[in-house]
Chain A
C-alpha cells in the first residue's frame, strides 16, 4: 500500500533534519534523487494512527530554483503529491523566510508553517503570535524547538487535523 506523504521544506540550517529525525524515529533511508547527485532522506512516521512517508527535502530558498538542490526540492513537491508540506522556518528570521511560504501558498500547496528555533527567538526578546500568523496566512502555524522536541506534539495534532479536513 502506498503511504501518504509529508514533505519537509525550508532553507538550509533551520533544523529540517532534526525535525525529520523527530518525526520518523529510526528507520530512514538516504538515496540520490533519480538523475541527480542530491541526497534525499525518507522515513516513516506515525501521526494520529496513520503512518506517513516523511521526506526531508534539500534546502530551498525560493520556489524559483537556482541550484540543483532547489530543483530537486521543487520536483518532490510537484511530482510526489505530498498531502502535507511542513515549511520549517527559522523563527528569528521570519521576515526573510516568509517569501517562500507565500510562494508555496500561491502555488496552492497544503502547507503548515513550523516556526522552529523558537527558543532562540525568545532569547532575543521576540514574541511571535502564531494565532495571528495563522489568520494572516490562513494555514496552521506552530512554534517548535526541534532540538528539544518542544511543540512537536502540537505539530502532530495540527497535522492530524489538517489531514482529516482535506481527506
Chain B
C-alpha cells in the first residue's frame, strides 16, 4: 500500500526521533501513513488525538507523554517548526521547476488592467461602461423595447382582457374579482409587475452585470473607487460591500461583517440603506428615466452628492484611523458567452422565484388592507409627504410598495409614468426619493440583525425623513432655477 511508503520530508533530528517513537506505537489503521498521523498528533490535531485515544488503548498514555516531551523540547509551537520546514521544501521544489522569464514584457492585458485602475483614464471608462452597459442596454433596450412589448402588446392586448373576462364570468363575488383582477389584483398587478416590468429589466441587467463580472472588471473598479474614497476620508475597505450593494443591498449588509471596525460597519450599512440602489431597483429607475438623459444626470448627481456628503459627515462624526486597503487583483479575462448565459439564467431563476410570490403576497395584503381600510389610511398619511415633494397623490401607493421591495415601488412609479401622470421633474424627484427611501423589509431586518435593534430603527427613521427632505429640496431647487426636465 502507498500509505506504507509515504514520501518523507526530513525534519531535524530531535523531531525525527519523536516521530519514529510515535510511529512505533501506532498499531491501528488510520487510513493515512503513521508518519502523517504522528505529525498531526505533534501539532495537537484534536480529531487525531481522540482517534488515537480510542484506538490505541493503553499505549495512548505513552503517546501523550511523547507529545508532551516533544513540545517541551522546542521553544516555538511545533506547528510552526513543521510548517517552516515543509515550506522550505516547497520553495526548493518550486524554484527547481519554475523559471521566470527575466524582463518579461508587460502584456497588453497588464497594460489594460493598469489603465482601468487609473483615475484619469479609468474614470471615463467607468462612465462609458455605465452609459452603454446600463443606460443604453438596460434602460433603453430592456426597459424600453422589451417592457413596451410585454406591457402594451402581451399584457394589455391579450392577457389582461382575457383574464379579466374569464375571472369575471367565472366568479361573481366582487371581492374575489378584485383579489384576482382588480386594480391591485394578483394577475393584473402582482403577476404583471413581475413578468412584464421586472423580468425584462432584471434579465438585461443581470446579463450586463455578468459580462462585467466575468471580465474581472469589478475588483479593478473597487481599486479605482478606493482611490476616490480615500480622498473624502472614507475607508477603502468599505468598497467591497458597497460595490456588492449594487447587486443586492441586503446581502451586502451582511458582508459589512468583513469590515474591521464598528465605525466602518455603521457607515457602510447606512450608505447601503440610503444611497446604493440594488440591481433590480436601479434597472427600473433607469427605465423610468430612460428617455430623459438630463433626468439621469440630475438623479445620478443628487445620489452621488448625498452619498459623498453623508459618508463624509458620518466619517467625521465617528472619527477613527484609516485602514489600508489591499486586494488581490485577478487577471482580466475575455468573458465566455456560455458562462454569462448560465450565470444570467441561474440568477434570474433565483430572483424570479423569490420575487413572484412576494409580488403576489403584496397583492393579497393590499386586498386585505383595502377591505379593512388600513391600506387607504396608510396611503392617506403617505399622501402628505408625497405631495410636499410635488408628486401626485397616486404616487403614495408606490412608496408604500417600495417598503415591500424597492423594485416593486419603482415599478409602481413606472406604471404612473406610462399613464402620463408624472412630468419630467416629478419623475426625477420620485426617483431620487425612492432611491434614498427606506430599504425593503429584508434589508430593514438585516440592518436590525447586524447593527442591533436600536441602530436599525434609528437608521430607518433617519432615512425616512432624509429621503423626503432631499426630494423636497430637489423639487424646490429645480423649480427655483426654472428647469423643466
Contacts and interface: CB of A to CB of B under 8 A. Distances in A.
Interface in B66-89: 79, 83, 86-87, 89
Interface of A: 63-65, 71, 77-79, 81, 94-96, 98-99, 101-103, 105-110, 120, 123-130, 132-133, 136-138, 147, 166
Nearest to A108: B3
Contacts of A78: 30-32
A126 B2 contact: no
B93 A71 contact: no
A103 B86 contact: yes
A109 B2 contact: yes
B97 A108 contact: no
Nearest 10 A-B pairs (CB), nearest first? A125-B104, A108-B3, A98-B90, A107-B36, A108-B6, A108-B33, A107-B32, A95-B94, A125-B101, A105-B7
B47 interface: yes
Contacts of B5: 108
B258 to A, nearest CB: 15
Given A65-B45, A94-B98, 13 more contacts: A78-B31, A79-B31, A95-B91, A99-B83, A106-B8, A108-B4, A123-B107, A123-B109, A127-B100, A132-B97, A138-B7, A147-B333, A147-B336
Nearest to B45: A64
A19 to B, nearest CB: 15
A129 B31 CA distance: 32
A133 to B, nearest CB: 5
Nearest to A131: B97
Contacts of B89: 98, 102
Nearest to B101: A125
Contacts of B1: 108
B16 to A, nearest CB: 13
Given A81-B31, A127-B98, A63 B7 contact: no
B2 to A, nearest CB: 5
13 contacts: A65-B47, A78-B30, A78-B32, A95-B94, A98-B90, A102-B89, A108-B2, A110-B2, A123-B331, A124-B104, A126-B101, A133-B93, A136-B93
Contacts of A101: 90
Nearest to A80: B31
B96 interface: yes
Contact of B96 (A120, A123, A136): A136
A106 B6 contact: yes
B43 interface: yes
B interface bracket (residues with beta carbon within 8 Å of A): 35 or more
Nearest to A141: B97
A128 B97 CA distance: 6
Nearest to B38: A106
B10 to A, nearest CB: 11
Nearest to B32: A107
B90 A126 contact: no
A105 B336 CA distance: 36
B152 to A, nearest CB: 39
B282 interface: no
Contacts of A96: 90
A164 to B, nearest CB: 15
A137 B93 contact: yes
Contacts of B100: 124-127
B401 to A, nearest CB: 35
Contact of A166 (B2, B31, B91, B109): B2
Contacts of A125: 100-101, 104
Contacts of B43: 64
Given A102-B89, A137-B7, A127 B101 contact: yes
